[in-house]
């Protein structure tokens, strides 16, 4: 990771990459010259999975990270404030579910496919995030 105070000394020694998985093929992608905003990268991964109808259990971890990042941007310590802002009616229940599903034990055997209620909730939150904030991901 590059730090601002050392960037001049290390910019030629270190390069930033993002680990990508496309159709079970892993690759390291250069971050390019554009500004890399982590929450937008997470939103892009989530929206791509939504578009491909391939939302999985681990996407709840990414959803929570995105919600926490947005919450922090607005100076709030709890991601539930974002859920409230985007119009989720049962904020405490949804926050509990997101929290629970993002802390599942992925090393024990269980399907990574989302069940009906978990999938509906993920789609609702993603739709409301996009509707409220209009993230542009390319």
Residue-level pLDDT at 1: 47
The CA-CA-CA angle for residues 131, 55, 69, to 5°, reads: 55
CB 58 within 8 A of CB 52: no
| pLDDT tens digits along 89-98 | 999 999 999 9
Q: What is the pLDDT of residues 7-32, one digit of tens each?
A: 566 666 766 677 677 777 777 777 66
> What is the separation, in whole angstroms, between the first and last Cα of the chain?
24
How many residues belong to the chain?
A: 138
pTM: 0.75
* Residue that has been written with the tokens 């270190």 in this structure: 14
- pLDDT, one tens digit per residue, over 38-80 is 788 899 889 999 999 999 988 999 999 999 999 999 999 999 9
Check: CB of residue 94 under 8 Å from CB of residue 81: no
């Amino acid at each position: 990771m590059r730090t601002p105070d050392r960037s001049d000394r290390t910019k030629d020694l270190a390069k930033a990459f993002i680990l990508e998985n496309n159709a079970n093929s892993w690759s390291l992608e250069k971050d390019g010259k554009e500004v890399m905003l982590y929450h937008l990268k997470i939103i892009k991964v989530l929206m791509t999975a939504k578009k491909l109808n391939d939302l999985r259990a681990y996407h709840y971890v990414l959803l929570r990270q995105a919600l926490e990042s947005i919450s922090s941007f607005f100076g709030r310590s709890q991601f539930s404030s974002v859920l409230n802002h985007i119009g989720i009616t049962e904020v405490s229940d949804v926050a509990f579910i997101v929290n629970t599903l993002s802390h599942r034990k992925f090393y024990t055997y269980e399907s990574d496919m989302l069940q009906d209620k978990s999938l509906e909730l993920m789609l609702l939150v993603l739709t409301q995030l996009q509707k409220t904030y209009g993230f542009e991901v390319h």
